[in-house]
Structures are given as C-alpha cells and as structure tokens.
Amino acid sequence: MTMQRDLSGITPSGHLTLGNYLGALRRFVERQHTVDGFYFVADLHALTTKHDPAKHRELTTSTAALFLAAGLDPQRATVFVQSDVPAHVQLAYLLECTAHVGELSRMIQFKEKGGRPGTRASLFTYPCLMAADILLYGAQRVPVGGDQSQHVELTRDLAVRFNTLYGPTFVVPELEPTALTARVLDLQDPTRKMSKSDSDDAAGVVRLLDTPDVIRRKFRRAVTDSEGEVRYDPHAKPGVSNLLDILAALTGQGPVSLATTITGYGQLKDAVADAVIAELRPLQERHDELVADRPELARLLDIGRQRARETSTPVLDQAQQAMGITR
Ligand code: AMP
Ligand code: TRP
C-alpha cells in the first residue's frame, strides 16, 4: 500500500508565530511519521506584496531553519524551499493558461487585498502558483487554514479542467474539513487570529523566536475580561479561553479541566508563558545553530530540493506534453 501524500507550505511574509506552530508546523511534524509529507517555504508567494529583498532573504532562511528545528526530518519528509524547484513557476504558467479571469476575481483573498493602488499582478495569479505547488506532487491532502480552502477548491477545479481538456495528468486533491484546525487568537484582540503579517512589535503576536522575557511580557499583558473567574467559554470569555486553549495544546489536557485547576488570571498567564517558553526553547536553540551553520542548513535543504525535483519533474513533463509543448 502506498502512503498518502500530504503537502503544505508556509509563506515567509513575516516571522512565524505560535499560531503557525500549533496550527501548522507541529501538525506537520506529527504527521511526518504516518504520511509521505512535502512541506515547503513558499518564498515566491511572499513576493506578491511589497517586500524588502534583504528581509525576504533572511525570513526565507529563518523559516526553513524553523521547519527543521521544529522537528521535520529530511529523511522522513521532503522539506524544501519553493524557489529551489523551478518547476513550480513553470507549471504555474500552464495553470494560468487553464484558469479563467472570472474565477480568479472571485478569490476572497484577492477581493480583500487586491483593490489597492500598486497591487502586483502576481497577487491576482497567485492561486495558480499555489495550484502548481499542490499538483506537481500529486498531493492528496493539503492541510491549510480555513482562509486557504477556496484556493484548494480552485486547485481541484483547475486539475479537473486540465485533465478533461488535455487528458489525465493531475491527481485531484481532497478538500479537507478545516473546522478542526486549532486557531490561536491574538493576545490583544482575541476576536481575530494571531497573524504573522502584523508588525514585528505587535504585542498580541507571540513569535517563535521571541526571547523568554518578551514571551512572558506578551502573556502578562494579554487581554482578558473583568470577571476574574478562570472558566472556558470561547464566546463570553475569548481572551481567557484562548489562553486555556494554548495551554491545553501544549499540555495535552482539556481546556475545561485545566480551568478548574487554575485560580486567577495571573496564575493562568504565568502557566501559559512557562509552557510556551519550555516548548520553544529547544526549537530556538536548534534554529540558531542551523542559521549559524549555513553549510549544514544548505545540506539539509538540498536533500529536500533533490527529492522535490525528482518527484515534480515527471509531472511537469507530462503536463507540458499534454498541452502540446514539444521538446
Ligand atoms: P499563514 O500564517 O496565514 O500564512 O498560515 C500558515 C499556516 O499556519 C496555515 O496552515 C495556517 O492554518 C496556520 N496558522 C496561521 N495562523 C494561525 C493561527 N493563529 N492559529 C492556528 N493556525 C494558524
Ligand atoms: N498560500 C498559503 C498561505 O498563505 C501558503 C501556500 C502556498 C500553500 N502554496 C501552498 C499551502 C500549497 C498549501 C499548499 O498560507
């Protein structure tokens, strides 16, 4: 029996957050033992909005190091940087020739961000690059947050259309029920998710590379409510419940039963900060080692680059043949 293939990417559009870790990275690390996982740093996707080249380079390197530091094992999973595999861009063009302007215009993310002056053309065609990321590897499952499910749906439509027009070429990925995805909320505004795209000094965003002092300060200042009772109730008490959810995710206990063991908000905040600091310490140490040892980081990412290239080349070839590109 062949293993199921999972694929997911994270765009290095900011320093990764505790949300990225609990909602994505940590799940990849757990799943690498049971699936054939492909996990990549989607560096090209970060060019769809205004960027600074030096910062982009640093974020790409640091994000790749975090993938490895979190425990993704290049011997088990394929861990790579998107721009190391030119087939992504090559297939993206073929999919731009498959997609329609109408359906790309309906993408919620584009509707939200695309109206501004200076909007890059690549922000509009971005779902075609994301479809290429997925279809190149024949991924069956694409674990992503709810805001990305429309793009996975489009990927399915493009795969089916291409297969119908030009002959069976792509595996059509499944649509994952995203409701299960744990969401870490912003500590200052617990009605919205913690986002890596917020400014680097945002007080409500815990970064994976924040120092223990900074992490503790952010949790101490987290918005709660004036009731003073530690109780799990995401609707009435979003701030306190978010802290309980984070603690639950790190301890493996349920948020409701955790609430009964903690008496005050100060105690809760300290407990969460302690758990986060302890969880992140080894990851931060390994990240720093890798970033300081570029040859080792390059060696590890080369393993992924090679495997990604080997896997994607035949699919790109087949798509080119099917579309009538003779070589
Ligand atoms: P993003 O940072 O939105 O590009 O998302 C990259 C990955 O991290 C996706 O799989 C998201 O589902 C996950 N993720 C991002 N932010 C959060 C959050 N606050 N809580 C849980 N998962 C998140
Ligand atoms: N667009 C995704 C995000 O912003 C990242 C991403 C790029 C991705 N390509 C992908 C996720 C392919 C899954 C599969 O979060």
pLDDT at 2: 80
Active site residue 113: yes
pLDDT at 1: 61
Residue 165: its pLDDT value, please? 98
Percent of the chain at pLDDT exceeding 90: 91
- Specify the 3-state DSSP secondary structure of 162: helix
Instruction: Please list the ranges in the chain whose pLDDT falls under 50.
Output: 179-180
Topology annotation, domain 5-183+293-323:
Rossmann fold (3.40.50)
Q: What distances in angstroms separate CA 326 from CA 135, 136, 320, one per listed residue?
A: 21, 19, 8
CA of 45 to the centre of ligand 2 (A): 8
Q: What is the pLDDT of residues 254-306, one digit of tens each?
A: 999 999 999 999 999 999 999 999 999 999 999 999 999 999 999 999 999 99
Cα 119 to averaged position of ligand 2 atoms, centre (Å) = 19
Residue 220: per-residue pLDDT: 98
Residue 35's pLDDT is 97
pLDDT of residue 61: 98
Strand order in the sheet with 78-81: 5-10, 36-41, 78-81
SS3 per residue for 242-285: HHHHHHHHHHCCCHHHHHHHCCCHHHHHHHHHHHHHHHHHHHHH
- pLDDT at residue 181 in the model: 58
Active site residue: 111, 113, 218, 269, which one? 113
Question: Does 1.10.240.10 match the CATH number of domain 212-289?
Answer: yes
Q: Helix or strand or coil: residue 291?
A: helix
Ligand at shortest distance from the CA of 137: 2
Amino acid 324: pLDDT? 97
Residue 129 CA, closest ligand 2 atom number: 9
Domain boundaries, the chain: 5-183+293-323, 212-289
